[in-house]
Chains A and B, each alone.
Chain A
């Protein structure tokens, strides 16, 4: 099975208030050290994988540069990365190579180099076409920047473009959201991601919202019900424009599904490199088992060479994952297929949960295929909880290692 590669670039020019990733604003001087470490990891991936009982195919059909803001790197740094990747892996001729890009950060020379390196897909972190909303969360671009970027990308021959939108930004209203969605449709990009503002203690805006304060425009964040409305409105508008939903947050014209992201939901192997990068490899010895691991989530620890955190995925865990990841996709989970992988006895243990959520209208079942309903998507965490065992079990597994 071909492999996906993820490369994390945890640097930004400014940190967005909603950001809960391990990214930050750092001086250029640290970039080279970071690339050194990345290259080192890329070279030793093979050795590392076998050391923890994982296995992978050297052929890669997808590379994803995520951030942070990957386009912040220098041309020479990109070149080093691509050279190292191609020296250590077999990049398929038709590989999907995506780079996340903050609007306005991709100048012509960088674009040129990236294209020569094989980048053929761009994901634009637009979030909103309303300038005031973008500015309120410390995005550095405006609507014009975005439209300009899309025009330049197309002129350069890149049409596989994704636009990210966030429902739930400060100052957002139904009307302003409608505007952002319409503008997105008007660009005719083939892929749209609709995220919803996540409130947790890992972002400044999240902390402020939890505290009930007014910093970062927190008091202008729409309430949960409105965010749900906005999400459903976007679903309706996109689908009506033949940009079909294939995952809770992802919408696409036929033929443009993100290969990289599908790997996550369908449990295909991927290797992540860099700060807080995550990997999953299938077990070398036991079918249906796997191993997940992640690099340190702070830049300092990563540069200091701290060990990865390793979580073996037992057969039982893998089955749970098949449900709570697979159900995110509109194609749903094929019960017959899962039974053939895990055995019918184990799969049937979920019959009651399936019946419960089907009865509650959050799941629907058509012959062998189980899917989230429209309402079920918005309440998917409630459904997924039914498919996971308690935390004790997975903690015990981590300790045992």
Chain B
């Protein structure tokens, strides 16, 4: 199709603001299958799909639409992941479009997530069409929603399309607006090939499937392609588009979106943001904006049952097949045994991986306190990166520590601002802006150390705002901070799994709270057990588990010796299941409880 008749767009919306319902309506109106019909159809034709070997992930759907001007247009709806952890992926999806629908719930208004993605769209020079959804609700306030779009996003909302995705009201206007307002893609099919990878996943039958947007030139079935970041070359076996049913085609030209299958075994080869070019006639330069994704949040993963260590490794290997953005390496802990140090894009990413490991692989896991990666300049001038407390250098060797900093955008109602300000100040935040985006809606921007976010920020924000605040953030740089390694010692022995990196000023509070938690969780031993928090050799908090006073059977039981023996055996077995730190037996549940509760008070 001529590029003048192609429109590439995505939908930006907060969770529950109606993105998928709108997408369904658009598919219906253009005569495509809706996502729901799709699911049913796919289920019906499961075997067929298996034969063809394509798992369906409708992240780029091509629709055919005959506009009011009588012309036939090709509309490509490109999906974006919804979470801040995946903001780079969002940015690449947006880079594949010329326009975006900004969907805002008429009763809820603009949320931080929407805002962040809207800014990304603006930065990518996308034409943004405000769409105000749920206008059929009694609580809908179109005027105020427009005011917020103008105040927070800085867009002219006078041309906003008013719809109810639920009833279908106004949806045809959305299609017209896309055709009229989103510019057609530029690019020349005759140029050297440049195609952007904006999504990829591993399919067990066909290998890696890659979603691309062609910017220049053309992708032809049977050709040889080269990935510009790593120089790897593949044979382009299959080329297609999702309607959302996969349909094979012969070529994709500049301006178009589709999928390719090229016998790629490893999803790590197809990095999002990379540029595909033609092996025979390569482009001189890749498309701009490629970044290697770097993990930002780090934690140790251990199995509760030490025997499941091998299963954990296999599960991690399998997950990595489909998700090259997390990394892991073996580590061991005296307290928890053998496990893996893992890096994630963010907290949600960490939770997703954890949940998949537990659900899909049936593993019971212990996760150590999440932390971030610090850049440390040593006194000898050497610069190292440390994300594992166990590798923290001796304080005397440290000249400078830099910690990662994020720019957080928080949208909330006026009444919760006080509580939120107190929270961000406590979390060492630096204010960047404070704005009313409408009469009682406030937008805050703060620079905050990532370290404080991974600790308990979400939960705290939720509680101070009673859920009426939305947060978005992205990495914005780093600053120097006096971080220290806080160790917990049980009877004089450090418990490695509980060490954390913390700002010097918070060390005392954190130490005190960890120590008192441990005290409550460690069963009394036959001797007094001191529990201490220390920075280096300096003890900053201490509590004591008093020695056990009594463990005795003071009864006769009419000569029932088996009962006594069983009790003794049970107690002895119980001790075997504990982890021994020095002379002290600690139940594994104690670690679990400290690491889980760890935060949040």
In this complex, which of A6, A228, A382 has the most chain B Cβ atoms within 10 angstroms of its Cβ?
A: A382
Given A379-B548, A391-B573, answer yes or no on A294-B568 (Cβ-Cβ < 8 Å). Answer: no
Chain B residues with Cβ under 8 A from A391's Cβ? Answer: 566, 569-570, 572-573
Select which of B527, B550, B558, B565 is within 8 A of A227 by beta carbon: B550
CA distance A112 to B553 in the complex (A): 35
Contact between chains at B526 and A362 (CB < 8 Å): yes
Could you tell me if B561 and A381 are in contact, using CB atoms closer than 8 angstroms? no
A385 touches B568 (CB 8 A): yes
B564 x A324 contact (CB < 8 A): yes
> Mind listing 11 A-B residue pairs with CB under 8 Å?
A66-B558, A194-B554, A196-B550, A263-B559, A272-B559, A277-B558, A324-B565, A324-B568, A390-B573, A391-B566, A394-B565
B571 interfacial by beta-carbon distance below 8 Å: yes
Least CB separation from A379: chain B residue: B551
20 further A-B pairs in the complex, CB-CB below 8 A; given A379-B551, A381-B551: A6-B559, A196-B552, A228-B550, A249-B556, A263-B559, A278-B558, A279-B559, A324-B565, A362-B526, A378-B550, A379-B526, A379-B549, A381-B567, A382-B548, A385-B575, A388-B569, A388-B572, A391-B572, A391-B573, A394-B569
Closest A residue, CB atoms, query B575: A385
Say if the beta carbon of A270 comes within 8 Å of chain B: yes
Contact of A385 with B572 in the complex, beta carbons under 8 Å = yes
C-alpha gap A225/B562 in the complex (Å): 27
Contacting pair B562 A382 (CB below 8 A): no
Q: A334 in the interface, Cβ–Cβ < 8 Å?
A: no
Assembled-state Cα–Cα distance A321/B571 (Å): 17
Residues from chain A with a CB closer than 8 A to the CB of B526 are 360, 362, 379, 382
Among A194, A198, A261, A280, find the residue whose CB has the most chain B CB atoms closer than 10 A. A198
Name A's B-contacting residues (CB within 8 A).
6, 8, 64, 66, 193-196, 198, 224-225, 227-228, 231, 248-249, 261, 263-264, 270, 272, 276-280, 292, 294, 311, 321, 324-325, 360, 362, 377-382, 384-385, 388, 390-391, 394
Q: Is the CB of A264 within 8 A of B561?
A: yes
Nearest-CB residue, chain A, relative to B569: A391
A148 to chain B, nearest CB (A): 26
**Pair A231/B554 contact, Cβ less than 8 Å:** yes
- CB pair A278–B561 under 8 Å, yes or no, is yes
Chain B residues within an 8 Å CB radius of A390: 569, 572-573
CB distance from A130 to the nearest CB of B (A): 20
Separation in Å of the A9 CB from the closest CB of chain B?
Answer: 11
CB–CB A377/B552 < 8 A: yes
- Let me know if B554 and A196 touch, CB within 8 A: yes
Q: Tell me how far the C-beta of A172 lies from the nearest C-beta in chain B, rounded to whole angstroms.
A: 15
Query: What 8 A-B pairs are tightest by C-beta distance, nearest first?
Result: A391-B569, A228-B549, A381-B551, A378-B550, A228-B550, A196-B554, A264-B559, A249-B554
Determine if B554 and A195 form an interchain contact, defined as CB atoms under 8 angstroms apart. Answer: yes
> Whose C-beta in chain B lies nearest to the C-beta of A378?
B550
Interface footprint category on B: 20 to 34
Bound Cα distance A391, B562 (Å): 11
Closest Cβ of chain A to B465, distance in Å, is: 33
Query: Within residues 343 to 358 of chain B, which ones have a CB less than 8 A from any CB in chain A?
Result: none
Does B47 have its Cβ within 8 Å of any Cβ on chain A?
no
Query: A235: shortest Cβ distance to chain B, in Å?
Result: 11
| A-chain residues with CB within 8 Å of residue B570 when the two chains form the complex | 391
With both beta carbons as reference points, the residue of chain B lying nearest to A377 in the complex is identified as B552
Q: Give the docked Cα–Cα distance between A10 and B43 (Å).
A: 64
A287 to B570, CA, bound (A): 29
Contact residue among B554, B568, B569, B572 (Cβ-Cβ distance under 8 Å from A248):
B554
- Does any Cβ of A come within 8 Å of B307's Cβ? no
Give the residues in chain B near A263, CB-CB below 8 Å. 559
Interface string of B103-147 (1 = CB under 8 A from A): 000000000000000000000000000000000000000000000
Listed residue (B554, B565, B567, B572) with the most chain A CB atoms within 10 angstroms of its CB: B554
**B562, A292: Cβ atoms closer than 8 Å:** yes
**Chain A residues within an 8 Å CB radius of B556:** 193, 249, 261, 264
A79: min CB distance to chain B, Å = 23
Whether B555 sits at the interface, judged by CB under 8 Å, is yes
**Are A381 and B571 in contact, CB atoms less than 8 angstroms apart?**
yes
B505 contacts which chain A residues (CB < 8 A)?
A: none
B560 within 8 A of A: yes
> Once the chains bind, are A379 and B573 in contact (CB under 8 Å)?
no
CA distance A297 to B346 in the complex (A): 57
- Contacting B562 at CB < 8 Å: which of A193, A194, A311, A324? A311
How far is the CB of B34 from the nearest CB of chain A, in Å? Answer: 52
On chain B, the residues within 8 Å of A231 by CB distance are 550, 554
| Residues B517-553 near A (CB distance < 8 A) | 526-527, 546, 548-553
Most buried by B among A66, A193, A278, A280: A278
B558/A249 in contact, CB under 8 A: no
Residue of B nearest to A381 (CB): B551
Verify B555–A249 contact, CB threshold 8 A: yes
In the complex, which residue of chain B has the Cβ closest to the Cβ of A357?
A: B526
**Could you tell me the distance in whole angstroms from the C-beta of B228 to the nearest C-beta in chain A?**
62
Chain B positions within 8 Å of A381 at CB level = 551-553, 567-568, 571
Interface centre among B557, B561, B573 (most CB of A within 10 A): B561
Give the contacting residue for A224; candidates B549, B562, B569, B573; CB below 8 A: B549
Can you list, as one digit per residue, whether each of B561-597 has a CB less than 8 Å from chain A (1) or not (0)?
A: 1101111111111010000000000000000000000
Per the bound structure, the CA–CA distance linking A330 and B117 in Å amounts to: 78
Complex Cα distance, B552 from A380, in Å, reads 5
Chain B residues within 8 Å of A194, by CB: 554
Cβ–Cβ contact A378 & B559, under 8 A:
no
Complex contact A325–B561 (CB within 8 A): yes
Q: Among A225, A272, A280, point to the contact of B549 (Cβ < 8 A).
A: A225
Q: Is the CB of A248 within 8 A of B562?
A: no
Roughly how many angstroms separate A377 CA and B570 CA in the complex, as a whole number? 19
Chain A residues closer than 8 Å to B567, beta-carbon distance: 381
Q: Chain B residues near A270 (CB, 8 Å)?
A: 559
Residue of A nearest to B573 (CB): A391
CB contacts under 8 Å to A, within B50-81, are none
Question: Are A321 and B561 in contact, with the CB atoms below 8 A?
Answer: yes
**Contact present for A379 and B555 (CB under 8 Å):** no
Distance, CA A380 to CA B567, complexed state (A)? 12
Residues of A within 8 A of B554 (CB): 194-196, 198, 231, 248-249
Which residues of the partner chain B approach A224 to less than 8 Å between Cβ atoms?
A: 549-550
Q: Which of A8, A249, A264, A388 contacts B568 (CB 8 A)?
A: A388
CA distance A382 to B550 in the complex (A): 9
Residue from B565, B573, B575 with most neighbouring chain A CB atoms (10 Å): B565
Q: Which residues of A contact B553 (CB under 8 A)?
A: 198, 248, 380-381
Judge whether B549 and A198 touch: CB under 8 Å.
no
Tell me whether A385 and B571 are in contact (CB under 8 A): yes
Bound form: Cα–Cα A381–B524 in Å? 14
Q: Is the CB of A276 within 8 A of B550?
A: no
Q: How many Å lie between the Cα of A311 and that of B571 in the bound state?
A: 21
Tell me the complex Cα distance, A276–B550, Å: 27
Residues A278 and B550 in contact in the complex (CB < 8 Å), given A261-B556, A390-B572: no
Contacts of B558 in A (CB 8 A): 6, 8, 64, 66, 272, 276-278
Known contacts A324-B568, A390-B572; A378 and B560 CB within 8 A of each other: no
For residue A280, which residues in chain B have a CB less than 8 angstroms away from its CB?
559, 561
